[in-house]
Structures are given as structure tokens and as C-alpha cells.
Structure 1
């Protein structure tokens, strides 16, 4: 399957790298020419434009920072879509928007998939990230070999749009976990607990989580660089709140999280790293939430393995 990849940022660049590393003939495109040049140096081909890529490729993947960016790219590709072509949306995006654009592609005889990823940039870099895929089963079977080159665990979530619904939910949970960890670590420091011991206590407890195992380390090392910025967090948790409003679910925690993140952006910048939320509490208390021995960056130490489809057990 001749494949194109549009959007070579923090996540997209790593996913595209997995395809290149595993021998996929890949065309690439990004508004940043340096990103394109780096992938071309690694063996990819400069795709030139979205329109040229959809004409030359069987499948074109988009991994872009906003629904508006994806819409602009897909609308450029639409006139050239037809039978045999597949648009694969790997951005975290709005269900209604991915369905609108996907249905436009399907109306032209093409196929569409929303297939966002979850698990952090460090796992995207090694092909060990998880991938959701929303599409009909025939399309899923067609793209599964491609997805298993980019991710370890691949879940078929149902029809087009279902993967995007689940993805914004997981990002909401991750954000809530980040903020509660910031509070937990600060309270433990104020109570005189050793923070390295605190980290281990959480790790072996019912309170542990993926976010703790990864981002708590970056908080304690002082790096606070998780390769995920506050504007992206706001987009994702905003999409979750929009989903709740659409279905008339009166949430209480979600609006508070949105307001807390908005305050973080005012203090540290719209695109500040999300782990800098700990600094709100450092400023409020005068405490330093750091401990020696923690890494400045996350590195996935699991060996890369070919991915596989995950099937629900219940």
C-alpha cells in the first residue's frame, strides 16, 4: 500500500518514522520544510502537496494540531478521492468533524478512518503506542497491517467517529490525573515526605497510573517537558466537554479542569508544556517539587514489536 503522511510534528513525525523504519514507501508533507527534509533524508519522498499525495497514494494519513487544519487538508484532497483511496485521520479531533469529512470522502467512493493514538510521544517513537480505529470492518482489515507498524495495540472501536469519542475521553482522564498528581505531590512535600519515596508509594498502590509512571518523573526531575503543550490539552478537554454538553451530562470536574488549565496558560504561556501545571502550586506554597535521580526525558525501554489487534474481552 503506497502511503502518504501529512503532519510531521511531535507525534506525527514519530509515527511517520516508524513507517519509514519498517520499510514502508512513504510520501510526506508538512508546512515546516525542515520536518520534510529530515524525513526525506531518512528515506521518505517529498509529497509536495495534499492533492498530489492523494493522487499518488493508496492511503493518506493526517496528524495535525486542530480540526481546522485537518479540514483544510482534506478539502484539498477531496476532489481527487475515489474508489481505492483511504483517508486516515490520526489527529485528536471532533467526532462531528471527522464524520463530516469522512462521509464526504466516502461519498466519492473512498474510505475514511479516524485512528488516533494514545500512550505518549516516547511510545510513538518506538512503534509501541496504542491506536484506536473507527471505520467499517473491511476497511479496518485493509489498514491493519499499516497500523501495526506504528502501534503495539490496535483496537477497532466501531464506526467512523467512535475512535475520536474514545480518544478525547482518555485525554480528559489523563489531564485529570496530571492535576491530581500535582496536588498529591505538593501535599506530600508540605507534609515532610521524601518525594522519591512518595513516587514509589504511588507506583505500588491503587493510586498509580500511566500518567504517574511517566509524567511524575518529569515533574520531579524538573524537566516538565512531556512533548505535549497546554493548547493541545485545552483542545482535547474542550472536545470532551463539548461531547458532555451535546449529550446533556452535567459535569462538575471537567469545567474546573478547563479553568485550571486556562490559568496555567495565562501564567506560563498558551503553548507551555502541560507538566508546568505543578508550578502553580510551587508558586502558591514556595515549595520545590523535585527529587534527584529522575529522568529529564521519557524513553521507551520496551523493545519494538509488530503490533496486533486487541479484541474486547467482555
Structure 2
């Protein structure tokens, strides 16, 4: 299968790298020509444009920063869509929007999939990230070999749009965990606790989480670098709020998280690293929430392994 990849940023560059590393016939495109050049040096082809990629590839993957960016790229590709072509949307996006765009692809005889990833840039880099996929089962079977190259755990979530709903659900939970970890670490420091000990106490207890075991480490290092910024968090929790609003669910915590990150953006800027939301509490208390022995960036210490479909538990008949 000839694959095109559009969007070579923090996540897209790593996912496309997994495809290339595992021998996939890959062409790439990005508005940043330097990123394209780096991939070409590694063996990819310069895809020239979204339109050209859709014309010359069997499947085209988009991994872009906003629904508007995805819409603009798909508009350019759409005239080249026809039977046998697949559009794979790996961006974090709005479910209603991906269904709207996907319908245009399907109307022209192509197939559409929303297949966002979850698990952090460090796992995207090693091919060990998790991937959700929303599409019909036949399309899922066609793209599963690609997904198992980019990710380790692949979940077929149902129809087009379902993966995007679950992606913003999981990102909402990650944001809630980040804010609660920030508060827990600041309170521990204010109460006189050793932060290294506090980290381990949380890690081995019922209070632990994926976010604590990753982001708390770079918080304590002081780098706060997970290659994710406050504006992206604000986008994701806003998308989650939209899902809740459409479903008629009155949330308590969601609006508060939106308020917290809006304040963080006002204080520190939209491109501030997202774990630096803890600075709101550091500034308020005068405390420095750092400790020795923690890494500046997260590294995936698991060896790269072929991915596989996650089988959903069902009641026995």
C-alpha cells in the first residue's frame, strides 16, 4: 500500500517515522519544508501537495493541529478521491466535523477513518502508542496492517466519528489528572513532604495514573516538556465540552478545567508547555516544585513490538 502522510509535527513526525522505519512506501507533506526534507533524507518521498498525495497514494493520513486545518487539506484532496482511496484522520478533532468530511469522501467512492492516537509523544516515537479507529469493519481490516505498524494497541471503536469522541474523552481525563497531580505535588511540598518521596507514594498507591507516572516526572525535573502546549489542551477540553453539550450532559469539572487553562494561557501564553499549568500554584505559593533525579523528557523504555487489535469484552451468549 502506498501511503501519504500530511502533518509532520510533534506527533505526525513520529507516526510517519514508524511507517518509514518499518518499510512502508511513504510520501510526506508539510507546510514546513525542513520537516519534509528530514523525512526525505530518511527515505520518504516528497509528496508535493495534498492533491498530489491523494492522486498517487492508496491511503492518505492527516495529522494536523485543528479541525479547520484538516478541512482545508481535505478540500484540496477531495477532487482526487475515488474508489479504493482511503482518508485516515489521525488529528484530534470534532466528531461531527470528521463525519461531515468523511461523508464527502464516501460520496466519491472512497473510505474514511478517524484514527487518533493516545499515549504520549514518547510512545508515538517507538510505535507503541494506542490507536482508536472509527469506520466500517471492512475498512478497518484494510488499514489494520498500517495501524499495527504505528501503534501497539488498536481499538475498533465503531462507526466513523466514534474514535474522535473517545479521543477527546481520554484527553479530558488526562487534563483532569494533570491538574490534580499539580495540586497534589504543590500541597505535598507546602506540607513539608520530600517531593521524591511524594512522587513514589502516589505512584505505588491508588492515587496513581498514567499522567502521574509520565507528566509528574517532567514537572519535577523542571523541563515540563511533553511536546504539548496549553492551546492544544484548551482545544481538546473544548471539544469534550461540545460533545457533552450535544448530548445534554451538565458537567461540573469540565467547565472548571476550561477556566483553569484559559487563565494559564492569559498568564503564560498559548504556546506554553501544558504541564506548566502548575505555575499558577507555584506563583500563588512561592514554592518551587522540582526535585532531583527525574528526566527532562519521557522515554519509552519498552521495545518496539508489532501491534494488535484490542478485543472488546462482551457478555457470553
Fold agreement, TM-score > 0.5: yes
Supply the distance in 2 between the matched residues of 1:86 and 1:12 (Cα, whole angstroms). Answer: 18
SS in 2 for 1:152: strand
Supply the distance in 2 between the matched residues of 1:294 and 1:188 (Cα, whole angstroms). Answer: 17
Where do 1:128-207 residues align within 5 Å?
Answer: 128-207=128-207
Does 2:3 correspond to 1:3? Answer: yes
Supply the distance in 1 between the matched residues of 2:94 and 2:296 (Cα, whole angstroms). Answer: 33
Q: Which aligned segments of 4 or more residues in structure 1 are displaced greater than 3 angstroms?
A: none
State the Cα distance separating 1:241 from its structure 2 match.
0.3
State the Cα distance separating 1:115 from its structure 2 match.
0.1
State the Cα distance separating 1:267 from its structure 2 match.
1.0
Supply the distance in 1 between the matched residues of 2:198 and 2:114 (Cα, whole angstroms). Answer: 39
State the Cα distance separating 1:248 from its structure 2 match.
1.1
Supply the distance in 2 between the matched residues of 1:312 and 1:208 (Cα, whole angstroms). Answer: 24
State the Cα distance separating 1:271 from its structure 2 match.
1.1
* 2:23 paired residue number: 23
State the Cα distance separating 1:25 from its structure 2 match.
0.9
State the Cα distance separating 1:201 from its structure 2 match.
0.5
* 1:127 paired residue number: 127
So what's the TM-score if we normalise by structure 2?
A: 0.99
Supply the distance in 2 between the matched residues of 1:247 and 1:149 (Cα, whole angstroms). Answer: 35
Supply the distance in 2 between the matched residues of 1:236 and 1:242 (Cα, whole angstroms). Answer: 10
Supply the distance in 2 between the matched residues of 1:24 and 1:229 (Cα, whole angstroms). Answer: 30
Where do 1:67-106 residues align within 5 Å?
Answer: 67-106=67-106
Does 2:219 correspond to 1:247? Answer: no
Does 2:249 correspond to 1:285? Answer: no
Unaligned runs of 5+ in 2: none
So what's the TM-score if we normalise by structure 1?
A: 0.99
SS in 1 for 2:140: helix
Supply the distance in 2 between the matched residues of 1:158 and 1:249 (Cα, whole angstroms). Answer: 22
Unaligned runs of 5+ in 1: none
* 1:311 paired residue number: 311
SS in 2 for 1:82: coil
Deviation per residue, 1:288-310 (Å, 9 max, x gap): 11110000011101000010000
State the Cα distance separating 1:313 from its structure 2 match.
1.7
Supply the distance in 1 between the matched residues of 2:133 and 2:142 (Cα, whole angstroms). Answer: 12
Supply the distance in 2 between the matched residues of 1:34 and 1:279 (Cα, whole angstroms). Answer: 33
State the Cα distance separating 1:28 from its structure 2 match.
0.1
Supply the distance in 2 between the matched residues of 1:140 and 1:254 (Cα, whole angstroms). Answer: 32
* 2:51 paired residue number: 51
Let me know the Cα RMSD of the aligned residues: 0.5
